[in-house]
Structure 1
Amino acid sequence: MITVPSGRVTVSHRGARRSWSVDVAPYELAASPVTQAQYAEITGQRPSTAHGDRLPVEGVSWFDALRFCNTLSRLEGLAPAYRIDADDVEWGTSADGYRLPTEAEWEHACRAGTIDARYGPLDDIAWYRGNSDERVHEVGGKQPNAWGLHDMLGNVWEWCWDMHDVEVKGIYRVLRGGGWFDEHWSCRASVRRRSHPTFRIDDVGFRIARSPSP
């Protein structure tokens, strides 16, 4: 886990033609997406379509990611961040357990103090359609950003906590970062995608965050 400093980020929803600024408090974020080996160790499951311990886990739903966070928290003696009752989820923001980042936290971490769309030349930092051979790759194989975070762009899209658009798309949740099958224009810090929280897709994974203890 890497400590991410506080800051302010502007999130843009191009489809709705609106943007908003968010103040982000310090938090911790995993240096890489959760791998298949990590997911199997905690859950006993290997849901991915491609296979390899250091490949990012994919084919996991938003709910799967939340359950992983809660299980890992309990194993480490931390307070689970989520109360899950069927399709109803509450985030206990004061909990010290693992969780998904908000999309503002994700974008703030991706930019790592810059205002550019990418934190380096795309071929150096990301697996995308132009260089991935149309397959997922092991985490950490490309250069990290200035804060030591790998694969923030490319390889797999990452689930975030937030709803994409409450008024228009209901419970659809935000994905960030672009993936191995995406063109270069999808691998930018500001790009948002949505998916139903129950869907399992072969280019969607997640990384974990954690709020500092009170």
Structure 2
Amino acid sequence: MDTGAVNELVAIPPGRVTLSDRRTQTSWQVEVAAFRISPFPVTQAWYAQVTSLRPSSSQGRRLPVEGVSWWDAVQFCNELSRRERLTPAYHLHVGAGTAQWVTSADGYRLPTEAEWEHACRADTTGPRYGRLEDVAWYQGNSGGQVRPVGGKQPNGWGLYDMLGNVWDWCWDIYDAEVYDTYRVLRGGGWADEHWSCRASVRRRSHPTFRIDDVGFRVARSMPPNRT
């Protein structure tokens, strides 16, 4: 793993992904435009550099930041954008519990769940982009703890820890009619059994909850007419 590349985003080509929900037994197709995404979950070192905070229950510079809420994640994105003199992607009203994504902004943001699954699959069609033991830290091999980023094999597009280690917050609301403001989590974590660490698995959590196997990675939209 090139630790110097932790903060460098990877270009993801456009494509189409089929999302599915086991609870409702439904599936739907989404067209995904080209975008960029971080090759690793946001590390504790990167999170502390931007926010001066160290919220994780297990401390380590190269460990993924965890114990961060969805609101923490989107605020990190905006602060990182301001630091790099980019336009923040979100208009946030934390007290009112409202967030608006400014899709024309060039700043950092969370991936949508369609972007996340498209990036995770990397042109593969199976439940995982490799053998579970080779690509993911999960209940069967994590030793009951979060692990440094990049310790397993990446997928074909150079993305690490898309499965296992920590779940990734996504932008999307899971199901507004049933779960109100709950947001989507993807990827599985270090405490999960093998069946949770699959490209199609969806989980949900309240945007204020902080959980010790939930982190995030950042994305940016591509400029128009660029691939």
Q: Which structure 2 residues correspond to residues 33-52 of structure 1 after superposition, within 5 A?
A: 33-52=41-60
The structure 1 residue matched to 2:76, chosen from 53, 68, 80, is 68
Query: Which structure 1 segments of 5+ residues have no match?
Result: none
Counterpart of 2:11 in structure 1 is 3
Instruction: Quote the residue 2:213 is aligned against.
Output: 203
Runs of 4+ in 1 over 2 A off after TM superposition: none
2:203 matches 1:193: yes
TM-score normalised per structure 1:
0.99
Which one-letter code corresponds to 1:20 in the other structure? W
Task: Please give the alpha-carbon distance, in whole angstroms, between the structure 2 residues aligned to 1:209 and 1:13.
Answer: 24
For 1:111-150, what aligned pairs fall within 5 Å after superposition? Answer: 111-150=121-160
Deviation per CA, 1:65-94: give whole Å up to 9, x if none. 000000000000100000001211000001
Asked if residue 179 in structure 1 is aligned to residue 177 in structure 2, the reply is no
Q: Deviations over 1:150-172 (max 9, x none)?
A: 00000000000001111111100
3-state secondary structure, aligned to 1:148: coil
Aligned length: 214
Q: d(CA) in 2 for partners of 1:165 and 1:141?
A: 33
Deviations 1:23-77 (A, max 9, x none): 0000000000000000000000000000000000000000000000000000001
1:13 corresponding residue in structure 2 = 21
- The SS at the match of 1:99 is coil
Distance 1:43 1:176 in 2: 24
- TM-score, normalised to structure 2's length? 0.94
1:141 offset after TM fit, Å? 0.4
Cα distance in 1 between the residues matched to 2:209 and 2:176? 18
What residue ranges of structure 2 are gaps of 5+ in the alignment? 1-8
Whole-angstrom CA distance in 2 between matches of 1:213 and 1:80: 15
For residues 87-124 of structure 1, the C-alpha deviation after alignment (integer angstroms, 9 at most, x for no partner) is 11000001000000000000000000011110101000
Aligned partner letter, 1:199: F
Partner of 2:178: 168
Q: What is the CA–CA distance in structure 2 between the aligned matches of 1:136 and 1:58, rounded to whole Å?
A: 9
Deviations 1:128-153 (A, max 9, x none): 00000010000000000000000000
Letter in 2 for 1:156: V
* 1:6-38, Cα deviation, whole Å (9 max, x unpaired): 000010011011111000000000000000000
Alignment partner of 2:31 out of 4, 8, 23: 23
**Structure 1 residues 164-192: Cα deviation after superposition (integer angstroms, max 9, x where no partner):** 11111110000000000000000000000
- The secondary structure found in structure 2 opposite 1:107 is helix
Task: Indicate the SS of the match to 1:72.
Answer: helix
Find the counterpart in structure 1 of residue 3 from structure 2.
Answer: none
C-alpha separation between the residues in 2 aligned to 1:27 and 1:145? 17
Helix, strand or coil for the counterpart of 2:78? helix
Q: What displacement does 1:212 show?
A: 1.4
Taking the aligned partners of 2:98 and 2:143, their CA distance within structure 1 comes to 39
